[in-house]
Chains A and B, each alone.
Chain A
Amino acid sequence: MPLQSLDIVRRSATTLPEPQVRGAHTGQVAKLIDTTKCIGCKACQVACMEWNDLRDDIGTCTGHYDNPHDLSATSWTLMRFAEYENPKGDLEWLIRKDGCMHCEDPGCLKACPSPGAIVQYANGIVDFQEENCIGCGYCVTGCPFDVPRISKKDKKAYKCTLCSDRVGVGLEPACVKACPTGAIVFGTKDDMKHHADERIEDLKSRGFDQAGLYDPAGVGGTHVMYVLHHADQPGLYSGLPDNPKISPTVGLWKGAAKPLALFAMAATAAVGFLHYIGIGPNETDEGDEEAARRESEKTP
């Protein structure tokens, strides 16, 4: 048997099941990012570029610590630094490691028109298969988190793979391995939720009443989750969406519109065909030519 994936539960622009006899019988995976333990060292960014052999262009200083200042086709993860003045008047530095959230219901995959350019494995990882990518950017349109980026070099879409190549052989993602404070941990989703519960209990005992887990239900939960000190206000963390879900516009465009439009187009052609068979063509005959001749002779 060649090296191949037998655990593809979803595949973009594909109507029949893909090879999926292999399941995630020991549980789906998740990466838990504890923003309360993050010190903003960017070791995760370095580990990501090392493991994936990515080097972004040298950017410019935009006046804050975010470096580079946005995700790109060669920067798949990024620390976003937010300065928050809490009601007591104290400064809180809220640092969030941004990147693909690996949604259980991925908007990118729903929007993608190219068969097999985006897949979801049984373990929950959403992966781009760039060889099938046509560069349309619909994944960017579909993503509720503004994550995918189109490369200027090859016009293909790129994002965090959750180190699917490492996870596939039993290793944790590179960013997890590099994190010096244990702010990023990796395991089964159940274990990660359990771990998050312990962290949240601890945070609450330290006065963070609103501490909680970010695992948004609008996208069916995510395989990258956050522990937040202020889970009631995700927006504080550099615009983390409160209630992300696949936009209704995208849902209609990639849902009901497709079969309905196809049916209506076929029906339009069928009506024409039936009219031709039932009523028939509208022809001119010698009588019409004769009438035309008579009339033009009458015309002064």
Chain B
Amino acid sequence: MNARNADRIVRYTAGTRINHWIVAISFVLAALSGLALFHPALFWLAHLFGGGPWTRILHPFIGLAMVAAFYLLCVQFWRDNYMQQHDWIWLRKINDVIGNREENLPDVGRYNAGQKLLFFLLVVCLIGLLLSGILIWRVYFGEFFAVGVIRAGSLLHALFAFVLICAITIHIYAAIWVKGSIRAMTRGWVTPGWAWKHHRAWFREVSRGVHSK
């Protein structure tokens, strides 16, 4: 609607931005508290949460907050993340992506193939973390599962968390790498040049939308 004026295109509304940062902050807290329990070399991180027992108590609730907030974000982003024909071409030209040669790439919609695959990877990880996390939440659920199931849950929880942390590391780096992205998620808008360069198909959709009004 009012997606664009002369030098700004709205990419994320205030609600979406707040939602994103709730997910982001709860992820950081869940990751730090989880890493404290994952490796002895990182146990000192437990002090950030008030010591070992508090870390153990808080971690699952932080995780639940992350999953709940991610679900709301996921519903909003879902349709824009379907993989399309040109996305596979984009992926095959990953060397041009890494080398900042976007002129060689097909036009990108609201999200590029990397963002789309990351999105679905996050969905898988969050579902996996939720389910395995319930299995190993000893205080409330310890009595309900056989020890073999809890052992598998423990390993899978670590595995999903590991994949998630690596995926989010890539996500954060991409935001640092592609200048203008962080502003899109903090202030909500991008410049037309940014949209034209990185998400040209989306830029055209937005332009048409404006002109049709």
Where the two chains meet, the residues of A that have a C-beta atom closer than 8 Å to any C-beta of B are 13-15, 113-115, 132, 134-138, 140-141, 146, 150, 155, 247, 249-250, 252-253, 257-258, 261-262, 264-265, 268-269, 272, 275-276, 279-293, 295-296, 299-300
Q: B139 touching A299 by the CB < 8 A rule? A: no
Q: With A250-B154, A299-B204 in contact, do A141 and B193 touch (Cβ < 8 Å)?
A: no
**Cβ contacts under 8 Å, B154 to chain A:** 138, 141, 249-250, 253
Among candidates A114, A258, A282, A295, residue contacting B100 with C-beta atoms closer than 8 Å: A282
Q: Choose the segment among B15-23, B52-60, B62-70, B82-90 that binds chain A (4+ C-beta atoms closer than 8 Å).
A: B52-60
Bound: A48/B102 CA distance, A? 74
CB-defined A-B contacts under 8 Å, sample of 23? A15-B41, A135-B53, A135-B139, A140-B150, A141-B154, A155-B53, A155-B139, A247-B148, A253-B155, A258-B38, A264-B162, A268-B169, A279-B99, A281-B179, A282-B177, A283-B179, A284-B179, A286-B193, A287-B193, A288-B197, A292-B193, A292-B203, A300-B211
Q: A265 touching B138 by the CB < 8 A rule? A: no
Q: With A155-B53, A253-B158 in contact, do A299 and B211 touch (Cβ < 8 Å)?
A: yes
Q: B203 touching A140 by the CB < 8 A rule? A: no
Q: With A134-B52, A134-B56, A155-B53 in contact, do A262 and B41 touch (Cβ < 8 Å)?
A: yes
**Cβ contacts under 8 Å, B148 to chain A:** 247, 249
Q: Which 4 A-B pairs have the closest CB atoms?
A: A137-B138, A272-B173, A288-B193, A134-B52
Q: With A155-B53, A253-B154, A281-B177 in contact, do A265 and B195 touch (Cβ < 8 Å)?
A: no
**Cβ contacts under 8 Å, B159 to chain A:** 257
**Cβ contacts under 8 Å, A252 to chain B:** 155
Residue of B nearest to A296 (CB): B207
A232 to chain B, nearest CB (A): 25
B22 to chain A, nearest CB (A): 23
Asked if B12 is an interface residue, CB under 8 A from chain A, the answer is no
Among candidates A286, A289, A299, residue contacting B207 with C-beta atoms closer than 8 Å: A299
Q: B150 touching A141 by the CB < 8 A rule? A: yes
Q: A136 touching B196 by the CB < 8 A rule? A: no
Known pairs A13-B43, A150-B142. 6 more at Cβ < 8 A?
Answer: A15-B41, A115-B40, A253-B155, A268-B166, A272-B177, A296-B207
Bound: A155/B195 CA distance, A? 54
Q: With A113-B40, A115-B40, A272-B169 in contact, do A136 and B56 touch (Cβ < 8 Å)?
A: yes
**Cβ contacts under 8 Å, A285 to chain B:** 193
B181 to chain A, nearest CB (A): 9
Main SS at interface, chain A: helix
Q: B162 touching A261 by the CB < 8 A rule? A: yes
Q: B43 touching A247 by the CB < 8 A rule? A: no
B71 to chain A, nearest CB (A): 25
Bound: A257/B196 CA distance, A? 43
Q: B52 touching A132 by the CB < 8 A rule? A: yes
B100 to chain A, nearest CB (A): 5
Main SS at interface, chain B: helix
**Cβ contacts under 8 Å, A276 to chain B:** 173, 176-177
Bound: A283/B197 CA distance, A? 9
**Cβ contacts under 8 Å, A268 to chain B:** 166, 169-170
**Cβ contacts under 8 Å, A295 to chain B:** 196, 203-204, 207
Q: B208 touching A299 by the CB < 8 A rule? A: yes
What sequence of 0s and 1s flags, for each residue 174-192 of chain B, a beta carbon within 8 Å of any chain A beta carbon?
0011111000000000011
**Cβ contacts under 8 Å, B41 to chain A:** 15, 262
A1 to chain B, nearest CB (A): 27
**Cβ contacts under 8 Å, A275 to chain B:** 98, 173, 177
B45 to chain A, nearest CB (A): 11
Q: A115 touching B151 by the CB < 8 A rule? A: no
**Cβ contacts under 8 Å, B196 to chain A:** 288-289, 291-292, 295
A118 to chain B, nearest CB (A): 12
Q: With A140-B142, A282-B178 in contact, do A265 and B162 touch (Cβ < 8 Å)?
A: yes
Q: A135 touching B165 by the CB < 8 A rule? A: no
Q: A257 touching B158 by the CB < 8 A rule? A: yes
**Cβ contacts under 8 Å, B152 to chain A:** 249
Among candidates B55, B165, B176, B178, residue contacting A265 with C-beta atoms closer than 8 Å: B165
Q: B155 touching A257 by the CB < 8 A rule? A: yes
Asked if B118 is an interface residue, CB under 8 A from chain A, the answer is no
Q: A265 touching B180 by the CB < 8 A rule? A: no
